[in-house]
Amino acid sequence: MHSISKIVVICVLAGFVVPGYADITPLPNQAVSVNSVASVAEAYRMYKDVNPTIKVPTAVEVPFNTEFIERLNFAVMDITDKTFEPSLYIDRVKTKEVKLQATPSMEIWRESQQVAMFDQEPRTYAEFLLPDVGEGHLTLNVSGATLLTASGLTLLLDNYVALPKYIEISALTPAGTKVILAKTQMNSQTVRFPKTTAQNWIISLTFGQPLRITELKFIEENAGVVQNRGIRFLAKPNHTYRVFYDPDRYVTAPVGEAANLYDDKGVLRLPQSAGLNNPVYLISDADGDGVPDISDNCVKTANPDQEDVNENERGDVCDDFDRDGVVNYKDNCRDEPNRNQIDTDGDGIGDVCDGEESRITEKYKWLPWTGMGFAALILVGLFVVAVKHGGANSGEISSVSQNPPSSSEKPEV
In the chain, the percentage of residues whose pLDDT exceeds 90 is 40
pLDDT for 381 equals 76
Q: Is the pLDDT of residue 257 over 50?
A: yes
Q: What is the mean pLDDT of residues 92-116?
A: 75
Which residue would you say has higher pLDDT here, 335 or 239?
239
Residues with Cβ < 8 Å from 125, sequence gap 6 or more? 113, 116, 117, 157, 158, 212, 213, 214
Which residue would you say has higher pLDDT here, 297 or 405?
297
pTM metric for this prediction: 0.68
Q: What is the mean pLDDT of residues 161-166?
A: 93
Which residue would you say has higher pLDDT here, 259 or 329?
259
Q: What is the mean pLDDT of residues 333-346?
A: 85
Q: Is the pLDDT of residue 378 over 90?
A: no
Q: Is the pLDDT of residue 399 over 80?
A: no
Residues in the chain: 413
Residues with Cβ < 8 Å from 230, sequence gap 6 or more? 61, 62, 63, 64, 65, 89, 90, 269
Q: Is the pLDDT of residue 14 over 50?
A: no
Q: In angstroms, how far is the first alpha carbon of the chain from the final one? A: 146
Q: What's the chain's average pLDDT? A: 81
Q: What is the mean pLDDT of residues 4-17?
A: 42
Domain spans of the chain? 8-93+225-277, 100-220
pLDDT for 44 equals 96
pLDDT for 358 equals 54
Q: What is the mean pLDDT of residues 1-26?
A: 38
Band of residue 356 on the pLDDT scale cut at 50, 70, 90: low
Q: Is the pLDDT of residue 376 over 50?
A: yes
Q: What is the dihedral of CA 193, 199, 204, 209, to 10 degrees?
A: 100
pLDDT for 16 equals 37
Closest CA to 260 of 87, 391, 102: 87
CATH numeric code, 100-220: 2.60.120.260
Most confident of 38-47, 84-93, 217-226, 314-323: 38-47
pLDDT tens across 264-305, in order?
999 999 999 999 999 999 999 988 899 998 888 888 889 999
Q: CA dist 51 to 41, 48, 54, 75, 215, Å?
A: 19, 10, 9, 16, 33
pLDDT tens across 187-238, in order?
999 999 999 999 999 999 999 888 999 999 998 887 666 667 899 999 999 9
Q: What is the mean pLDDT of residues 174-181?
A: 90
pLDDT for 363 equals 56
pLDDT for 129 equals 87
Which residue would you say has higher pLDDT here, 46 or 135?
46
Q: Which of 17-31, 76-90, 147-161 has the lowest mean pLDDT?
A: 17-31
Q: Is the pLDDT of residue 260 over 80?
A: yes
pLDDT for 394 equals 53
pLDDT tens across 106-158, in order?
766 566 677 888 888 888 899 998 887 788 999 999 998 889 899 999 999 99
Which residue would you say has higher pLDDT here, 373 or 256?
256
